[in-house]
Amino acid sequence: MKNLINFIFETFHLKRIKHEWPRLAGVDFPDSVAEHSLNAAQIGYILAKMEWADANKVSAILIWHDLAETRIGDIHKVWSRYIQGKKEFEKHAMEEQLVWLEFGSDIKALFDEYEQRSTLEWMIAKDADYLEQAFQAKIWIEQWYQGMQNRIDNVGGALRTNSAKAIWNQMVKSSSNDWWAALKKLPREK
């Protein structure tokens, strides 16, 4: 029973682990991995129903897919360029987490299916994982960035020197994410 209690407490740690990728885009207070997993599972359930797939399995995959992050943290795509064996770290962490649980092999099988990328349920789970991130990004844009466009426009009209105007013109055509966007390539799973 003690191992089960410890495992439950460990899952609560996902509330404290913050997603790191939004920090690259300037989000100071990103969502937690637990928040992400819940919303991804909800989206996954909806997608699975739309695709006539096993909605419960998709949701279960998404509930557990980031469990290892309680031990290794969230690693965004730029950071992962410099870490060899991220998948092996996740697998090792999860195996240690689940070894004491009677139903640990069930959770491990869900994780393995997600990592093996070979089923319809995996495909739906991955799409839900990505969609959750897109929805969250849209919310952040609407909350924080839209109201700032007026300020950007006003600054452009107030500039006097040609150099400042040239820099401003290039800035408005650019994204603050350009510096790292080319470093982070999302894999195109098949």
* Domain residue extents for the chain: 2-146
- The mean pLDDT value for 155-165 works out to 78
Query: Structure tokens of 110?
Result: 């869900």
pLDDT category of residue 134 using cuts at 50, 70 and 90? confident
Contacts of 119 (CB under 8 A, 6+ apart): 113
Give the containing element (helix H, strand E) for 11.
Answer: helix 2-12
The Cα 75–Cα 61 span in angstroms is 19
Whether the predicted pLDDT of 17 surpasses 90: yes
Contacts of 143 (CB under 8 A, 6+ apart): none
Closest by CA to 113, choosing from 34, 51, 184, 53, is 53
Instruction: Write phi, then psi, for 32 (nearest 5 degrees).
Output: -85, 165
pLDDT category of residue 30 using cuts at 50, 70 and 90? confident
Query: Structure tokens of 82?
Result: 């410099």
Q: Residue 37: its pLDDT value, please?
A: 96
Cα 5 to chain center, whole Å?
27
Closest by CA to 30, choosing from 140, 156, 110, 119, is 140
Q: Residue 145: its pLDDT value, please?
A: 56
Q: At what angle do helices 104-116 and 120-140 cross, to 10 degrees?
A: 80
More confident residue, 180 or 145: 180
- Type of residue numbered 1: M
Radius of gyration of the chain (CA): 20
Q: Residue 75: its pLDDT value, please?
A: 86
Whether the predicted pLDDT of 92 surpasses 60: yes
pLDDT category of residue 83 using cuts at 50, 70 and 90? confident
The Cα 17–Cα 64 span in angstroms is 14
pLDDT, mean over the chain:
85
Instruction: For domain 2-146, give the fold.
Output: Hypothetical protein af1432 (1.10.3210)
- The mean pLDDT value for 134-158 works out to 72
The Cα 37–Cα 11 span in angstroms is 11
pTM for the predicted model, two decimal places:
0.79
Q: What is the pLDDT of residues 38-78, one digit of tens each?
A: 999 999 999 999 999 999 999 999 999 999 999 999 988 88
Contacts of 177 (CB under 8 A, 6+ apart): 24, 25
Q: What is the pLDDT of residues 109-123, one digit of tens each?
A: 999 988 888 899 998
The C-alpha angle with vertex 186 and arms to 60 and 130, in degrees rounded to 5, equals 35
Q: Residue 178: its pLDDT value, please?
A: 72
- The mean pLDDT value for 94-99 works out to 93
Q: Residue 99: its pLDDT value, please?
A: 93
